[in-house]
């Protein structure tokens, strides 16, 4: 991750210099100070397409005879008139940082100086966006990439100029832990399934014990022995056994407060099982553990920042593979809570592993609030695209708090209806409940899945289900059938976004864990 420092002033010798342009196409006061001969302003006027909007950048040569010493200048659109003090909200500052990093991809400079006149929070959030985009995606190529072909961002050091450097540095201390958590979630999701299977995910969880995170692992035959019949069934078709990894963070060993519980779907590869996916739908199924990766990344951020809130994270890990030992449509499984489940479609396995993790965690850990995350259904992608994650909850205050933090962190959620009554299509003639509706049913499957999961969460437990199928996976932005863009697409280059880490961290830090 890049090294970030904050200062009131600094030289840009040999560095890339970031300056601002308003949506009125005028330079900011800071930019004009570097443009004594008007070269930068003339370049803006000459480039008609550059309107000073957020997301736009313009590279220009450093002004001749200028005192900055910069190697090149990148002008960023601020999305507001240049005459106003640049006070972007957290979301806008994050986006500006991502745009700046993207504009530096493939350039020779390894240092950047940012002079946008940002306040302390704006500077710290800008640094977060810069760090996230500069990290790039996982690249296992044996040779360095050519410029323009997934070209990396070479920046290793950033100096952000602000009137409040000490306050900005204090804010960055926690935000850099958020960045580390997001980048961990991204890397785990981006790695192929042969390198990131359930055992490898457990190894990644084990690394957090060095930061004071506790770890308990139920794996292999112990999964079935613990009564986790749904998780065991999903994983029984693979040569790589399933596991339930339980991470715990307590600010103090004797902390008596019940924890907040985060649960992540960790299907390290989902072939669909015997209800096998078509080839085109299987290629990205290494990303089907993005929910578990987000939980792991959030625990990494929480422990790094040493948040004063007890948190447990459950990773429901398995591979869903076809084989002679795979579970079948028509099977009746028994969950850890004793509920019997009729299997309709082995490709609706995510809700099964989540149900067991929710049931085990609520019974064993007695949390004060529960959030689960999963790349769960295609119907939520059809409904919300890549713009927002689906939010289901019985609890209005909890849903409102999560939505507000999602808006602030550019990890948007959209609340969808959670059926209050028993869904007729999930009624089974042979078991307590069907796993999903036959042939889709009348309701979208995202609602079926949420209704199914609600059976495993007592009504008095504050709970929210986040279906992140549209926002949790990577995408190739060059593909002809690429889905709709993310609301802030400048924070990554098409790899997994690590969706949910920023949102959950801010929600946990806010003290609204039961709101």
Answer whether residue 453 is part of any domain: yes
Q: What is the pLDDT of residue 145?
A: 67
With 0-12 / 13-18 / 19 or more C-beta atoms within 10 angstroms meaning exposed / middle / buried, residue 283 is exposed
Total residue length of the chain: 515
Q: Where does residue 338 fall: left (phi above 0), alpha (psi -120 to 50 degrees), or beta otherwise? A: left
How would you label 78-115 residue by residue, b for 16+ Cβ within 10 Å and e otherwise?
bbbebeeebebebbbbbbbbbbbbbbbbebebebbbbb
Q: What is the pLDDT of residue 372?
A: 99
3-state secondary structure 210-272: HHCCEEEEEECHHHHHCCCHHHHHHHCCCCCCCEEEEEEECCCCCCCCCCEEEEEEEEEEECC
Residue 139, domain CATH: 3.40.220.10
Based on the fold, state whether residues 148 and 232 are members of the same structural domain. no
Residue 67 pLDDT level (bands cut at 50, 70, 90): low
Answer whether residue 169 is part of any domain: no
Q: What is the pLDDT of residue 511?
A: 86
Last residue of a domain, one of 97, 129, 163: 163
Based on the fold, state whether residues 334 and 193 are members of the same structural domain. yes
Helix runs in 276-340, H state only: 279-282, 290-305
Answer whether residue 173 is part of any domain: no
Answer whether residue 335 is part of any domain: yes
With 0-12 / 13-18 / 19 or more C-beta atoms within 10 angstroms meaning exposed / middle / buried, residue 250 is middle
- What are 198-223's pLDDT values in tens digits? 999 999 999 999 999 999 999 999 99
Average pLDDT, stretch 319-335? 99
Residue 490 pLDDT level (bands cut at 50, 70, 90): confident
Q: Which of 91, 111, 187, 351 is catalytic?
A: 351
Answer whether residue 174 is part of any domain: no
Q: What is the pLDDT of residue 234?
A: 99
Percentage of the residues of the chain whose pLDDT score is greater than 70: 93
Beta-sheet strand order (sheet of 332-334): 332-334, 340-342, 433-434
Q: Where are the beta strands (DSSP E) in 367-462?
A: 369-374, 389-393, 413-415, 433-434
Q: What is the pLDDT of residue 478?
A: 44
Q: Which domain covers residue 27, as residue numbers?
A: 3-163
Residue 484, domain CATH: 3.40.630.10
Q: What is the pLDDT of residue 314?
A: 99
8 Å CB contact between 499 and 486: no
Q: What is the pLDDT of residue 388?
A: 96
Pairing type for strands 332-334 and 340-342 reads antiparallel
SS3 440: helix
| Distance in angstroms (rounded) separating the CA atoms of residues 411 and 418 | 21
Joined tokens for residue 126: 């800008």
Based on the fold, state whether residues 265 and 222 are members of the same structural domain. yes
Residue entry with tokens 């990290």: 135
Annotated binding site for Mn(2+): 265, 270, 288, 347, 349
- What are 102-134's pLDDT values in tens digits? 998 878 788 999 999 999 999 999 999 999 999
SS3 150: coil
Joined tokens for residue 486: 């993310």
Based on the fold, state whether residues 118 and 195 are members of the same structural domain. no
Q: What is the pLDDT of residue 514?
A: 58
Based on the fold, state whether residues 454 and 488 are members of the same structural domain. yes
Annotated binding site: 265, 270, 288, 347, 349
C-alpha distances out from residue 134 to 21, 156, 180, 493, Å: 22, 9, 13, 9
HSE-CB for 4 with a 13 A CA cutoff: 32
Based on the fold, state whether residues 105 and 215 are members of the same structural domain. no
Q: What is the pLDDT of residue 513?
A: 67
Based on the fold, state whether residues 131 and 209 are members of the same structural domain. no
Q: What is the DSSP letter of 27?
A: B
Answer whether residue 352 is part of any domain: yes
Residue entry with tokens 């004063």: 308
Q: Tell me how many domains the chain contains.
A: 2
Q: What is the pLDDT of residue 440?
A: 63
The pLDDT of residue 148 is above 60: no
- What are 73-88's pLDDT values in tens digits? 999 999 888 876 667 7
| Distance in angstroms (rounded) separating the CA atoms of residues 157 and 2 | 5
Q: Which of 277, 368, 394, 415 is catalytic?
A: 277
SS3 148: coil
Answer whether residue 360 is part of any domain: yes
Residue 373 pLDDT level (bands cut at 50, 70, 90): very high
C-alpha distances out from residue 514 to 261, 317, 399, Å: 11, 27, 10
8 Å CB contact between 347 and 285: no
Q: What is the pLDDT of residue 479?
A: 44
| Distance in angstroms (rounded) separating the CA atoms of residues 337 and 272 | 25
Q: Which residues contact 474 (CB under 8 A, 6 or more apart)?
A: 137, 189, 190, 284, 287, 494, 495, 496, 497
- What are 22-47's pLDDT values in tens digits? 999 999 999 998 898 899 999 999 99
Last residue of a domain, one of 163, 179, 210: 163
What value does the mean pLDDT of the chain take? 92
Answer whether residue 355 is part of any domain: yes
Residue 125 catalytic?
no
Based on the fold, state whether residues 390 and 433 are members of the same structural domain. yes
Q: Which residues contact 112 (CB under 8 A, 6 or more apart)?
A: 15, 16, 17, 18, 100, 104, 130, 155, 157, 158, 159
8 Å CB contact between 267 and 349: yes
pTM of the model: 0.95
Residue 277 catalytic?
yes
Based on the fold, state whether residues 112 and 191 are members of the same structural domain. no
Residue entry with tokens 């036959």: 438
Based on the fold, state whether residues 191 and 126 are members of the same structural domain. no
Based on the fold, state whether residues 401 and 439 are members of the same structural domain. yes
What backbone phi and psi angles, to 5 degrees, belong to 265? Answer: -70, 125
């Amino acid at each position: 991750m890049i090294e970030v420092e904050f200062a009131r002033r600094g030289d840009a010798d040999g560095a890339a210099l970031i300056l601002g342009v308003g949506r009125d196409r005028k330079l900011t006061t800071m930019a004009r100070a570097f443009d004594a001969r008007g070269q930068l302003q003339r370049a803006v006027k000459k480039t008609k397409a550059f309107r000073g909007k957020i997301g736009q950048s313009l590279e220009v040569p450093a002004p001749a005879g200028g005192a900055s010493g910069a190697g090149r200048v990148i002008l960023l659109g601020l999305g507001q008139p240049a005459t106003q003090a640049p006070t972007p909200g957290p979301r806008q500052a994050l986006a500006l940082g991502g745009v700046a990093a993207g504009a530096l991809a493939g350039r020779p400079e390894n240092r950047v100086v940012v002079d946008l006149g940002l306040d302390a929070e704006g500077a710290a959030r800008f640094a977060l966006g810069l760090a996230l985009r500069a990290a790039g995606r996982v690249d296992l190529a044996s040779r360095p990439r050519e410029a323009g072909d997934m070209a990396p961002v070479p920046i290793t050091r950033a100096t952000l100029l602000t009137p409040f450097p000490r306050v900005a540095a204090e804010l960055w201390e926690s935000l850099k832990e958020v960045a580390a958590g997001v980048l961990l979630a991204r890397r785990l999701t981006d790695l192929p399934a042969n390198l990131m299977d359930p055992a490898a995910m457990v190894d990644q969880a084990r690394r957090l014990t060095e930061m004071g995170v506790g770890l308990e692992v139920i794996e292999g035959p112990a999964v079935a022995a613990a009564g986790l019949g749904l998780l065991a069934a999903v994983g029984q078709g693979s040569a790589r056994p399933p596991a339930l990894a339980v991470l715990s963070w307590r600010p103090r060993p004797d902390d008596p407060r019940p924890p907040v519980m985060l649960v992540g779907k960790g299907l390290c590869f989902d072939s669909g099982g015997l209800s096998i996916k078509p080839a085109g739908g299987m290629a990205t199924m290494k990303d089907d553990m993005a929910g578990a990766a987000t939980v792991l990344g959030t625990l990494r951020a929480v422990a790094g920042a040493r948040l004063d809130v007890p948190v447990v994270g459950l990773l429901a890990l398995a591979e869903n593979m076809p084989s002679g030992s795979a579970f079948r449509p028509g099977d009746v499984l028994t969950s850890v809570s004793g509920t019997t489940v009729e299997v309709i479609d082995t490709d609706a396995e995510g809700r099964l592993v989540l149900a067991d993790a929710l049931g085990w965690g609520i019974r064993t850990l007695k949390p004060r609030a529960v959030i689960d995350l999963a790349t769960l259904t295609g119907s939520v992608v059809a409904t919300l695209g890549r713009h927002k994650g689906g939010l289901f909850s019985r609890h209005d205050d909890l849903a409102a708090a999560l939505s507000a933090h999602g808006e602030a962190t550019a990890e948007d959620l959209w609340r969808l209806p959670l059926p209050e009554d028993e869904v007729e299509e999930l009624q089974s003639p042979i078991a307590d409940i069907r796993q999903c509706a036959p042939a889709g049913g009348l309701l979208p499957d995202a609602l079926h899945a949420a209704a199914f999961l609600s059976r495993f969460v007592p009504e008095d437990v504050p709970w929210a289900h986040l279906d992140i199928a549209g926002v949790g996976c990577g995408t190739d932005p060059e593909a002809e059938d690429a889905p709709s863009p993310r609301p802030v697409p400048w924070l990554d280059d098409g790899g997994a976004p690590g969706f949910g880490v920023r949102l959950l961290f801010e929600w946990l830090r806010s003290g609204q864990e039961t709101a």
